[in-house]
């Protein structure tokens, strides 16, 4: 669980990247698809997945980037209440496990890209403040598979 100070600094770090949720969410997805091309297989129904330039312009990827960031934002609002946090992360994990059949190793992949982008744009303290949140998200998403 998170101390009050950890909650505050994690929220401060997240706000910086969430201000531009669609742009930053899109950057994260395009990096995941480019650096880990196997992740594209889950999105075979998305058009324009052949190059990073195409992907950045894709309304489908932009919309999905926004959706992923909105879900993380909902989790970040409930770091101080584990029941509410799990109420968001468990159904999302269940959907990824049973319906979407996502290999759970990819949760760490996308979280590490988010942390990397935070460090690039806002520095090491921003990244450090958010690491525990990504660990919590990955732990609970992975637990759904057990
Ligand atoms: C759908 C969030 C990781 C693949 C979704 C949705 C959300 C979401 C909110 C929409 C769910 C709905 O429609 O009810 C997240 C979060 C993640 C994460 C917060 C990690 C922090 C991943 C990863 C992959 C993935 C790592 C695959 C590599 C998908 C796919 C869909 C989806 C294929 C359906 C997309 C569509 O057809 O529109 N995700 N996701 N997700 N997610 Fe994730």
Quote the mean pLDDT of the chain: 97
Cα separation values, 10 from 44, 48, 93, Å: 34, 34, 22
Ligand 1 pocket test: which of 77, 92, 98, 136 has the largest number of ligand atoms within 8 Å of its C-beta? 92
The closest-lying atom of ligand 1 relative to the alpha carbon of residue 45 is: 37
Residue 22: pLDDT band by 50, 70, 90 thresholds? very high
Confidence (pLDDT) at 1: 86
Residue 89: pLDDT band by 50, 70, 90 thresholds? very high
Residue 37: pLDDT band by 50, 70, 90 thresholds? very high
Mean pLDDT of 20-40: 98
Question: What percent of the chain has a predicted confidence (pLDDT) above 90?
Answer: 99
Residue 23: pLDDT band by 50, 70, 90 thresholds? very high
Confidence (pLDDT) at 146: 84
Give the residues surrounding ligand 1 with Cβ less than 6 Å away: 39, 42-43, 64, 67-68, 71-72, 92, 95-96, 100, 102, 106-107, 110-111, 137
Are 43 and 96 a contacting pair, CB within 8 Å?
A: no
Cβ-based neighbours of 135, under 8 Å, separated by 6 or more: none
Query: Which residue's CA is the closest to the ligand 1 atom numbered 16?
Result: 68
Cα separation values, 38 from 102, 109, 125, Å: 11, 12, 31
The answer on pLDDT for 96 being more than 90 is yes
* Three-class SS of 86-122: HHHHHHHHHHHHHHCCCCCHHHHHHHHHHHHHHHHHH
Residue 35 exposed, middle or buried by CB count within 10 Å (0-12, 13-18, 19+):
exposed
The closest-lying atom of ligand 1 relative to the alpha carbon of residue 111 is: 21
Ligand 1 pocket test: which of 65, 96, 107 has the largest number of ligand atoms within 8 Å of its C-beta? 96
């Amino acid at each position: 669980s998170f101390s009050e100070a950890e909650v505050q600094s994690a929220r401060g770090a997240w706000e910086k990247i969430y201000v531009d949720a669609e742009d930053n969410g899109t950057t994260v997805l395009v990096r995941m698809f480019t650096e880990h091309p196997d992740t594209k297989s889950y999105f075979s129904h998305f058009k324009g997945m052949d190059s990073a330039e195409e992907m950045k312009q894709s309304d489908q990827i932009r919309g999905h980037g926004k959706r992923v960031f909105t879900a993380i934002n909902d989790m970040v609002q409930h770091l101080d209440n584990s029941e509410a946090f799990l109420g968001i992360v468990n159904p999302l994990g269940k959907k990824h496990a049973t319906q979407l059949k996502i290999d759970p190793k990819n949760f760490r992949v996308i979280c590490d890209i988010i942390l990397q982008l935070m460090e690039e744009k806002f520095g090491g303290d921003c990244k450090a403040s958010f690491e525990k949140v990504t660990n919590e998200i990955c732990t609970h998403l992975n637990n759904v598979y057990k």
